[in-house]
C-alpha cells in the first residue's frame, strides 16, 4: 500500500446557510446510465431522517466509483459496497487498539487455509449474489484478481506485498474453492485481502460493459457498482453525492435500506445537519466544535466520540537538506518538540502525543520513546552536529492533507524550534496535489503528514515509510537510507508471522527510533458524531464507517 492520509482534512468553502439549503435541495447528474442525466437524491434529507435510512454528511465525496485511488473519500467510502473475501475485526471505540494482521473475520469467504509456500485456499460462501442477481463463484475471484494485476497498479501493490504469483495468480479448485497463489510466505497473506481494491467484482456485469479499448470496463465502473456487497450505488454525482440501496440478495441484509452520502464542505454546516436531525453522522469538524457537540450530546440524543486509528502524524525530515543529514541535528529537533503541548494546544488533547515510531494501537511490544522534550539537551545536540548557532529551514504542511489544524501546528513548531536557534519558514500549501508532489520530490526541508498502513502490522508500517527501495516511501523522497534497515526490509516480505519475523521488526523499529528520519508528533483520531439511536460503530485500521454494520 501507498502512504494513506487518515482522513482528518477539514475543507472550507460554502457558508452554513448555503450548505444547508443545498443539502435540502440536493440534486445532480447521476452518471448511472450510458448518458448522464439529472436525478434527485433521496428527498427525505429535507427533513428528519427516516428510520431505515442513514444520511452521512462528509467533508468530500469520491470523484469516481472505481478503486485505485488513495484519496480519503475513495478509501473510506467505497469499501461499503466493494466486497472482500475477509473483513477487519471491529475494535471497540476507546479501546486503544485496532485489528492487526490476525484480526480478520470471514466475509465472502467462510474459511481459509495457508499452504506451506504461503498460498491461501479460500472456501467461498454459498448463495451470495450481486445486486444484479448474479451468483458469486470462484470465477469472479479469478477475474477480479487478474483485473487488478493487469490494469490497476495501485491496488496491485497490495498483491505484490503478499508475493502473489503474477504469472499464475489464482487457481480455481471448484465453484466455491479458490487458491490465491504466492511465490513465498507472507505475514500479510490473509489480512491484505481486507483491502477493498482487491475485492470480488461481479465478472458478468463487468464483462457486459467491456470494449476493445476498455477490456476491464474501467469507464463503466467509474460511475457504477458491480460487487457482491451489502449495497449497490443507485445515484452518483461525482464529488458531491452517492445514494446506496441495500442489495436484496445479500446474505446478511443490512438494517439501513438506503444510505445517502452527501459532501458538505463546511464543518459547521455538517455539524448543524446532525444536531437538527437532518443527517445521521458526520466527522472532520474542528476539535473545539467536537467538544461543543460532546457537551450537548445527551440533550440532543447524539454520540460524540473520538475514534482511534492506525496512524501517526510525522514531521518528515528531508536529509537532502544538509543540516538534516546529520543524526545529531535530527535528534536535536526531536528533543526540541514538546508533543504534549502540541496535543493540547492544537488538538484539545484528543490526538495523543506519539510515543512510538509506530501507532500504539497496533499493540506492538516495543519500548516507548520517552518524551524527549529538553531544550538544553537539544541545544547540546545541535552544537555536536556542527550548528551551535542554529540554521534556517522550511517546514511545509497542507490543510487539504492533514486538516485545518496544520496552520496552528506549523506556528507552534516554529516557536518551539526557535528556542534552540532554528529559524523556521512556514510553507502552507493550499493545493493538496501540489503538496504531495512536493513531498514526493523532496522539495521541502521538512513536512507534516500522516501514515496509515493496511494491513495494520508494525513491520509493514515501518516498511511503508523507511524502505528506500520503495518508490512510494518517505525514505525515497527524503534521501534516507540505512544499510542495516534495508537488509531487514529485504527479508521481511518472505517471512511468515513468527519469532524470526518479530525479532527483525523489533530491530527495524530500534534503528528507526535511533536514526530519527522523522519525528512522530501525534496519533490522529477521527470522529464519530452521530444519531445516538444508531449502534454498531467501531474502529478499524482505516477510518471507515461500515454502514452494513449499523442498526437502531
Q: Which residues contact 526 (CB under 8 A, 6 or more apart)?
A: 6, 7, 8, 283, 284, 306, 307, 309, 543
* Residues 535, 552 contacting (CB under 8 angstroms): yes
**The pLDDT of residue 323:** 98
Cβ burial, residue 494 (10 Å; 0-12/13-18/19+): middle
**The pLDDT of residue 23:** 47
DSSP calls for 99-113: --TT-EEESSEEEEE
- ∠ CA 122-126-128 to the nearest 5 degrees? 105
* Residues 455, 190 contacting (CB under 8 angstroms): no
**The pLDDT of residue 14:** 35
Q: Taking the CA atoms of the chain, what radius of gyration do you get in angstroms?
A: 24
* Residues 120, 189 contacting (CB under 8 angstroms): yes
DSSP calls for 446-493: EEEEEEE-SS--HHHHHHHHH-TT-TTSHHHHHT---HHHHHHHHHGG
Residue 545, all three cell numbers: 464507517
The H or E element containing residue 86 is strand 86-88
Q: Which residues contact 167 (CB under 8 A, 6 or more apart)?
A: none
Question: Cell 470523484 appears where?
Answer: 63
The domain limits of the chain are: 1-81+230-308+526-552, 82-90+97-219, 311-523
Q: How many Å is the maximal CA-CA distance in the chain?
A: 71
| C-alpha dist (Å) from residue 249 to 129, 181, 196, 244, 259 | 6, 30, 20, 14, 17
Cα end-to-end distance, the chain, whole Å: 35
CA distance 384 to 330: 11
* pLDDT tens for each residue of the chain, 552 residues long: 344 455 444 333 333 444 444 444 343 333 343 222 222 333 344 568 889 999 999 998 999 999 877 778 888 999 999 999 999 999 999 999 998 888 999 999 999 999 999 999 999 999 999 999 999 999 999 999 999 999 998 899 889 989 999 999 999 999 999 999 999 999 999 999 999 999 999 999 999 999 999 999 999 999 999 999 999 999 999 999 999 999 999 999 999 999 999 999 899 999 999 999 999 999 989 899 999 999 989 888 999 999 999 999 999 999 999 999 999 999 999 999 999 999 999 999 999 999 889 999 988 778 766 667 899 999 999 999 999 999 999 999 998 788 888 999 999 999 999 999 999 999 999 888 899 889 988 899 999 999 988 889 999 999 989 999 988 788 988 999 999 999 999 999 999 999 999 999 999 999 999 999 999 999 999 999 999 999 999 999 888 999 999 999
CA distance 244 to 235: 7
Residue 461, all three cell numbers: 508500517
* Residues 351, 525 contacting (CB under 8 angstroms): yes
CA distance 495 to 184: 8
Pick the CATH number of 1-81+230-308+526-552 from 3.40.50.12170, 3.40.190.10, 3.40.50.2020, 3.40.1410.10: 3.40.190.10
- ∠ CA 199-546-209 to the nearest 5 degrees? 40
Q: Which of 14, 61, 98, 66 has the alpha carbon at shortest distance from 282? A: 61
Question: Cell 427516516 appears where?
Answer: 50
Give the chain's count of helices (H) and strands (E).
19, 20
CA distance 369 to 412: 21
- ∠ CA 110-114-115 to the nearest 5 degrees? 135
CATH superfamily of 311-523: Dipeptide-binding Protein; Domain 3 (3.10.105.10)
Residue 246, all three cell numbers: 441495500
Count other Cβ atoms within 10 Å, centred on residue 133: 12
Residue 97, all three cell numbers: 487498539
CA distance 26 to 55: 13
Looking at residue 422, the DSSP 8-state letter turns out to be P
Tell whether domain 82-90+97-219 is in CATH 3.20.20.70. no
Question: Cell 477510518 appears where?
Answer: 543
Amino acid at each position: 500500500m501507498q502512504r494513506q492520509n487518515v482522513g482528518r482534512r477539514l475543507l472550507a468553502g460554502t457558508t452554513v446557510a448555503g450548505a444547508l439549503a443545498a443539502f435540502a435541495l440536493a440534486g445532480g447528474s447521476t452518471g448511472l446510465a450510458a448518458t448522464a442525466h439529472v436525478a434527485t437524491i433521496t428527498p427525505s434529507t429535507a427533513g428528519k431522517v427516516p428510520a431505515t435510512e442513514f444520511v452521512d454528511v462528509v467533508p468530500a465525496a469520491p470523484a469516481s466509483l472505481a478503486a485505485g485511488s488513495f484519496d480519503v473519500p475513495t478509501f473510506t467510502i467505497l469499501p461499503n459496497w466493494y466486497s472482500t473475501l475477509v473483513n477487519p475485526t471491529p475494535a471497540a471505540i476507546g479501546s486503544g487498539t485496532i485489528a492487526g494482521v490476525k484480526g480478520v473475520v470471514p466475509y465472502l469467504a467462510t474459511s481459509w487455509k495457508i499452504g506451506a509456500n504461503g498460498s491461501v485456499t479460500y472456501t467461498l460462501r454459498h448463495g451470495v449474489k450481486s445486486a444484479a442477481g448474479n451468483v458469486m463463484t470462484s470465477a469472479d475471484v479469478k477475474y477480479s484478481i487478474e483485473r487488478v494485476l493487469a490494469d490497476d497498479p495501485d491496488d496491485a501493490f497490495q498483491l505484490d506485498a503478499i508475493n502473489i504469483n503474477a504469472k499464475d495468480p489464482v487457481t480455481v479448485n471448484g465453484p466455491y474453492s479458490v487458491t490465491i497463489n504466492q511465490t513465498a510466505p507472507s505475514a500479510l497473506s490473509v489480512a491484505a485481502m481486507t483491502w477493498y481494491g482487491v475485492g470480488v467484482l461481479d465478472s458478468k456485469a463487468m464483462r457486459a460493459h467491456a470494449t476493445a479499448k476498455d477490456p476491464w470496463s474501467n469507464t463503466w465502473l467509474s460511475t457504477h457498482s458491480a460487487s457482491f456487497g451489502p449495497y449497490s450505488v443507485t445515484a452518483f454525482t461525482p464529488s458531491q453525492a452517492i445514494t446506496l440501496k441495500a442489495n436484496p440478495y445479500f446474505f446478511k441484509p443490512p438494517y439501513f435500506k438506503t444510505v445517502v452520502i452527501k459532501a458538505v464542505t463546511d464543518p459547521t454546516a455538517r455539524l448543524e445537519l446532525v444536531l437538527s436531525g437532518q443527517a445521521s453522522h458526520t466527522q472532520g469538524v474542528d476539535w473545539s466544535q467536537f467538544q461543543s457537540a460532546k457537551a450537548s450530546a445527551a440533550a440532543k440524543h447524539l454520540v460524540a466520540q473520538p475514534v482511534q486509528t492506525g496512524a501517526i502524524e510525522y514531521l518528515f525530515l528531508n536529509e537532502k537538506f544538509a543540516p538534516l543529514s546529520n543524526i545529531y541535528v535530527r535528534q536535536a529537533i526531536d528533543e526540541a518538540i514538546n508533543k504534549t503541548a502540541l496535543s493540547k494546544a492544537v488538538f484539545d488533547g484528543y490526538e495523543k502525543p506519539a510515543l512510538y515510531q509506530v501507532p500504539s494501537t497496533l499493540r506492538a511490544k516495543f519500548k516507548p520513546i520517552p518524551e524527549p522534550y529538553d531544550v538544553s539537551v537539544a541545544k547540546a545536540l545541535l552544537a555536536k552536529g556542527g550548528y551551535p548557532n542554529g540554521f534556517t529551514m522550511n517546514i511545509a504542511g497542507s490543510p487539504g492533507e492533514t486538516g485545518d489544524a496544520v496552520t496552528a501546528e506549523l506556528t507552534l513548531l516554529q516557536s518551539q524550534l526557535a528556542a534552540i536557534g532554528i529559524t523556521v519558514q512556514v510553507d502552507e500549501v493550499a493545493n493538496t496535489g501540489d503538496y504531495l508532489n512536493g513531498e514526493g520530490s523532496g522539495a521541502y526541508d521538512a513536512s507534516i503528514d500522516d501514515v496509515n498502513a493496511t494491513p495494520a502490522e508494525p513491520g509493514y508500517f515501518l516498511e511503508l515509510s523507511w524502505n528506500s527501495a520503495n518508490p512510494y516511501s518517505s525514505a525515497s523522497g527524503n534521501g534516507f537510507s540505512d544499510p542495516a534497515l534495508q537488509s531487514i526490509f529485504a527479508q521481511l516480505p518472505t517471512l511468515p508471522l513468527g519469532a524470526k519475523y518479530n525479532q527483525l521488526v523489533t530491530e527495524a523499529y530500534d534503528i528507526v527510533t535511533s536514526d530519527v528520519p522523522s519525528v512522530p508528533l501525534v496519533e490522529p483520531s477521527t470522529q464519530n458524531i452521530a444519531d445516538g439511536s444508531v449502534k454498531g460503530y467501531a474502529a478499524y485500521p482505516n477510518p471507515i464507517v461500515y454502514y452494513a454494520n449499523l442498526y437502531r
